[in-house]
């Protein structure tokens, strides 16, 4: 079944205000960037604003980088995503990774933990320890960081729906190492809005979810000032099918919703947004990826200053963690993926990111093996230490093309973000399923382009070989069925040894707090300290908050 | 008029990656089938209930988290319990080849790992219902 562009254009009704690839159906595809920005065969001085020549790195609006010296002064943080099995399994792996050249930890959590269930919950029992480490109670967190000094390491948790609980566990684990909250460094992703449109790890309705997001931000700015209470993410929306520029725009629409949530509690932007971390990814379009970073920095600086009246440059600086398009990792000829990730790494660096994780060559099969993670670290270290690209800041500035594309992306962000904000904002769009629908439509169009061979994926739909998947599956990450038993036993032990009366009292106090309006972090910390499990805590919160099913968009 | 092929696409378990499932919903609709999508986080019982309510011919299960063996067995059991074991169960997503034979043994009618062509999927669906 081959579908022509014209047929697609007829089938997919384009919503007003939606800029995406299909808005340009009459254009030759060589003349479009990945996200659908029109390109010219070449650019001249007429295509750029002459005043850009005066811009300097480290100066508002930070198009050229948030620091004057960039990588000359400090390289980006290499932070590969890892975690599987039990806390004990991952603890060993973390120690190995740090020995192999990793600078910060990035913790993957399994799906039951992300969905607020204990490992023994029937709905989650097949997923225990599979895509990340299983955390059921404080005991697992203690095991995960055993012998890792939490005042020395920065730890990033990919956790959203249960971010407040995981942060509470991290704080108590640190406390037991005599590390006070003000010394811990790291990030919880805590970006719940994108979970409703992509990734799906949300527990409560949007309004209650936003309250928890706000509680984490409020707690961290008052008690744990070195910890990033949120990492506002676009990359997952790419995985769900959005174009890159849509990801960036939706991410900023979500960010505005988070800022409004905290501002309405009486804080000014400069009291909290300097601790924001951002997350995005580069993809196959090398130049668009570089220009997106320049445009995102500019957009955020202007939003902070003009929309929220920020006076502090730190608030206006977009500190961003970059990945690479995980979806582009092919099953077929997985070693071809190493070329892709090297390009992602280079565009992240030329665009000026602050930290980086790369997808791994075996990513299409399973969570990455240790060899594949080492390879991704090697790619990062090669670009950092061998290529010389770190010597000059924002080296592509002044290219007619790069400057023009940066401006075009910035214009597009203005249009799309304003459209969302002026028609109810991100929360309303998500409740109505509008963002989900746009992303699902975009996914369909892209898959059709791959299937029809209009877009090349080397080894997958171009220059294929006859090797079967099975030949590569020998390098897959092993899954141990024993993880479930280990966790079930750990929960049992925890429940036997904890002071049950204290645990129940802490859960009751949490319920009372959730029924009220105050910040939930302290009651959560108390419940965690008494070894209440993730499932017990989430059931308590659900009794107050209710649950929610986001519209699917199809 | 010939009855349209009716399909339920489901996401059992906790995995939230449903791009592939949603794309397939659109592709099958384009091919003239009636397609219902369950959304995320379905238990086996929820899938079986929806399949019976919608009186589908084919139940398509999508997985990316690696939990396909255990969850598929649960769905097949639930369908049997609901008296719906005539429905064809197909599995798609990130499915390693080493697991194909185990899924076959359970009674899965077809497996579409990543990279399967739309023509293959649509053709197989048509054949399964015609058979």
Predicted pLDDT of residue A1 = 30
Predicted pLDDT of residue A100 = 83
- Among residues A126, A203, A344, A446, the alpha carbon closest in space to that of B19 is found at A446
Lowest mean per-residue pLDDT among A149-158, A201-210, A463-472: A463-472
Please report, for chain B, how many H helices and E strands are present, in that order.
5, 5
Number of compact structural domains in chain B? 1
Decide if pLDDT at A366 tops 90. no
This prediction's pTM: 0.92
CATH architecture of A45-473: Alpha-Beta Barrel (3.20)
Residues of B in contact with A552 (CB under 8 A): 18, 22, 37, 39-40
* Residue with the two structure tokens 């080849």: B97
Closest alpha carbon within chain B to A195: B16
Predicted pLDDT of residue A104 = 83
- Among residues B35, B34, B45, the alpha carbon closest in space to that of B12 is found at B45
Q: Between A124 and A310, whose confidence is greater? A: A310
Q: Do B14 and A198 touch (CB under 8 A)?
A: no
Give a yes or no: residue B1 inside a domain: no
What percentage of chain A reaches a pLDDT higher than 90? 77
Residue range B72-129, pLDDT digits in tens: 999 999 999 999 999 999 999 999 998 999 999 999 999 998 888 899 999 999 999 9
Residues of B in contact with A443 (CB under 8 A): 19, 22-23
Q: Do B22 and A552 touch (CB under 8 A)?
A: yes
Lowest mean per-residue pLDDT among A14-28, A379-393, A437-451, B99-113: A14-28
Residue range A258-311, pLDDT digits in tens: 999 999 999 999 999 999 999 999 999 999 999 999 999 999 999 999 999 999
> Band of the pLDDT at A14, cuts 50, 70, 90?
very low
Q: Do A440 and B113 touch (CB under 8 A)?
A: no
Residue range A161-219, pLDDT digits in tens: 999 999 999 999 999 999 999 999 999 999 999 999 998 999 999 999 999 999 999 99
Predicted pLDDT of residue A19 = 43
Give a yes or no: residue B106 inside a domain: yes
Predicted pLDDT of residue A83 = 74
Give the number of residues written for chain B.
131
DSSP codes, A213-252? HHHHHHHHHHH-TTEE-EEEE-HHHHHHT--HHHHHHHHH
Residues of A in contact with B119 (CB under 8 A): 1
Residues of A in contact with B65 (CB under 8 A): 111, 127, 130-131
- The helix/strand/coil state of A323 is strand
Q: Do B96 and A11 touch (CB under 8 A)?
A: no
Q: What ranges do the domains of chain A cover? A: 45-473
Predicted pLDDT of residue A84 = 80
Predicted pLDDT of residue A18 = 38
Decide if pLDDT at A141 tops 80. yes
**Mean pLDDT of the region A452-472:** 85
Q: Which domain holds residue B54?
A: 6-130
Q: Cα–Cα distance between B41 and A378 in angstroms, integer?
A: 37
DSSP codes, A49-93? -GGGGG--TTSTT-TT-SSSSGGGT-PPEE--EE--BSHHHHHHH
Predicted pLDDT of residue A27 = 53
Give a yes or no: residue B22 inside a domain: yes
Predicted pLDDT of residue B114 = 81
Decide if pLDDT at A24 tops 60. no
Decide if pLDDT at A26 tops 70. no
> Band of the pLDDT at A397, cuts 50, 70, 90?
very high
**For position B83, which CATH number holds?**
3.40.50.280
Q: Which of B7, B21, B28, B66 to mutate to test the interface with A (most CBs of A within 10 A)?
A: B66
Q: Cα–Cα distance between B12 and A245 in angstroms, integer?
A: 31
> Band of the pLDDT at A546, cuts 50, 70, 90?
very high
Q: Between A74 and A470, whose confidence is greater? A: A74
Q: Do A331 and B97 touch (CB under 8 A)?
A: no
Decide if pLDDT at B68 tops 90. yes
Residue A243: φ, ψ to 5°: -70, 165
Rounded to the nearest integer, the mean pLDDT of chain A is 91
**Mean pLDDT of the region A519-536:** 98
Give a yes or no: residue B76 inside a domain: yes
Which residues of B lie inside 8 Å of A (Cβ-Cβ)?
13-19, 22-23, 25-27, 30-31, 37, 39-41, 43, 65-67, 69-71, 94, 96-98, 113-115, 117-119, 122
Checking ipTM against 0.90, whether it exceeds it is no
């Amino acid at each position: 079944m081959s579908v022509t562009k014209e047929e697609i254009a007829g089938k997919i009704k384009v919503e007003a205000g939606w800029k995406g690839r299909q808005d340009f159906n009459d254009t030759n595809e060589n003349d479009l960037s990945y996200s659908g920005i029109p390109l010219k065969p070449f650019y001249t001085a007429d295509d750029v604003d002459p005043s850009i020549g005066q811009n300097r790195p480290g100066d508002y609006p930070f198009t050229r980088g948030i620091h004057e010296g960039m990588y000359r002064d400090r390289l980006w943080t290499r932070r590969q995503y890892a975690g599987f099995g039990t806390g004990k399994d991952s603890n060993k792996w973390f120690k190995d990774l740090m020995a192999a050249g990793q600078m910060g930890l990035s913790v993957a959590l399994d799906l039951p933990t992300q969905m607020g269930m204990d490992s023994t919950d029937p709905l989650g029992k097949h997923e225990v320890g599979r895509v990340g480490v299983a955390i059921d109670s404080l005991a697992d967190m203690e095991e995960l960081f055993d012998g890792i000094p939490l005042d020395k390491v920065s730890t990033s948790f990919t956790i959203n729906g249960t971010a407040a609980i995981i942060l509470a566990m991290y704080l108590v684990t640190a406390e037991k190492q005599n590390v006070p909250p003000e010394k811990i460094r790291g990030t919880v992703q805590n970006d719940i809005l994108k979970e409703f449109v992509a990734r799906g790890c949300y527990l409560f309705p949007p309004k209650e979810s936003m309250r928890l997001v706000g509680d984490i931000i409020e707690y961290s700015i008052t008690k744990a000032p070195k910890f990033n209470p949120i990492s506002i993410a676009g990359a997952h929306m790419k995985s769900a099918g959005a174009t890159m520029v849509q990801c960036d725009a939706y991410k900023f629409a979500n960010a505005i919703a988070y800022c409004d949530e905290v501002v309405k509690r009486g804080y000014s932007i400069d009291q909290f947004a300097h601790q924001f971390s951002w997350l995005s990814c580069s993809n196959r379009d090398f130049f668009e990826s570089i220009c997106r970073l320049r445009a995102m920095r500019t957009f955020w600086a202007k939003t902070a200053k003009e929309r929220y009246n920020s006076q502090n440059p730190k608030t206006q600086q977009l500190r961003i963690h970059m990945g690479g398009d995980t979806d582009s990792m092919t099953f077929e000829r997985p070693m071809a993926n190493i070329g892709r990730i090297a390009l992602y790494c280079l565009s992240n660096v030329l665009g000026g990111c602050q930290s980086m994780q790369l997808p791994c060559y075996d990513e299409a099969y399973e969570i990455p093996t240790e060899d594949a993670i080492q390879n991704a670290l090697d790619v990062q270290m090669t670009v950092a230490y061998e290529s010389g690209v770190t010597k000059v800041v924002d080296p592509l500035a002044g290219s007619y093309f790069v400057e023009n594309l940066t401006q075009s992306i910035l214009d597009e962000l203005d249009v799309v973000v304003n459209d969302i904000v002026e028609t109810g904002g991100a929360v309303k769009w998500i409740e109505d399923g509008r963002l989900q629908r746009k992303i699902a439509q975009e996914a369909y169009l892209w898959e059709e382009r791959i299937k029809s061979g209009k877009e090349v994926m080397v080894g997958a739909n171009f220059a294929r070989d006859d090797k079967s998947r099975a030949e590569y599956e020998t390098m897959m990450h092993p899954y141990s069925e024993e993880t479930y038993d280990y966790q079930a036993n750990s929960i049992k032990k925890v429940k036997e040894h904890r002071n049950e009366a204290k645990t129940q009292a802490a859960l009751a106090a949490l319920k009372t707090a959730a029924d009220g309006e105050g910040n939930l972090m302290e009651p959560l910390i108390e419940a965690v300290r008494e070894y209440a499990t993730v499932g017990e805590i989430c059931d308590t919160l659900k009794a107050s908050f209710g649950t929610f099913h986001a519209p699917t968009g199809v | 008029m010939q009855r349209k092929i009716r399909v339920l696409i489901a996401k059992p378990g906790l995995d939230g990656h449903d791009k592939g499932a949603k794309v397939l919903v659109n592709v099958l609709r384009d091919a003239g089938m009636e397609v219902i999508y369950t959304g995320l986080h379905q238990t086996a019982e929820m899938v079986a209930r929806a399949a019976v309510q919608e009186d589908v011919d084919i139940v398509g299960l999508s997985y990316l988290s690696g939990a396909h063996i255990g969850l598929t067995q649960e769905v097949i059991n639930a369908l049997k319990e609901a008296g719906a074991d005539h429905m064809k169960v197909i599995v798609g997503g990130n499915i390693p080849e080493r697991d194909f034979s185990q899924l076959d043994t359970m009674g899965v009618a077809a497996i579409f790992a990543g990279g399967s062509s739309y023509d293959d999927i649509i053709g197989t669906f048509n054949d399964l219902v015609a058979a």
